[in-house]
Amino acid sequence: LQGGRVHGGLLGAATVLLEAETERLRTTLAERPGYRLVLMGHSVGGSIAALLGLLLQGNEAFMSALRASASQQDQGQAAG
């Protein structure tokens, strides 16, 4: 992953989660302008959350949705 090494089980878990939830996250961000995504966890969950963040960075469609949501929030704060 990004030129490094990672535990196969943790990467597998992050990949399965990404495949299962990317569309739901993208839809949620589109429906709720200004929402931001926070990935967090404890212990193994923290490791999976970190890997999920790295995987999402490589997903241009998702990152575009995230940037659009953040941009809408910034515009709303500037208007208010």
The model's pLDDT over 8-55, given as tens digits with 9 standing for 90+, comes to 999 999 999 999 998 898 888 888 877 778 888 999 999 999 998 888
Q: Decide: 29 and 67 in contact? Cβ < 8 Å.
A: no
Residue 14 carries which side chain, given as an amino acid letter?
Answer: A
Q: What is the mean pLDDT of residues 59-68?
A: 76
Residue 53: partners with Cβ closer than 8 Å, 6 or more residues away: 39
Tell me what pLDDT residue 42 has.
Answer: 93
Higher pLDDT, 2 or 79: 2
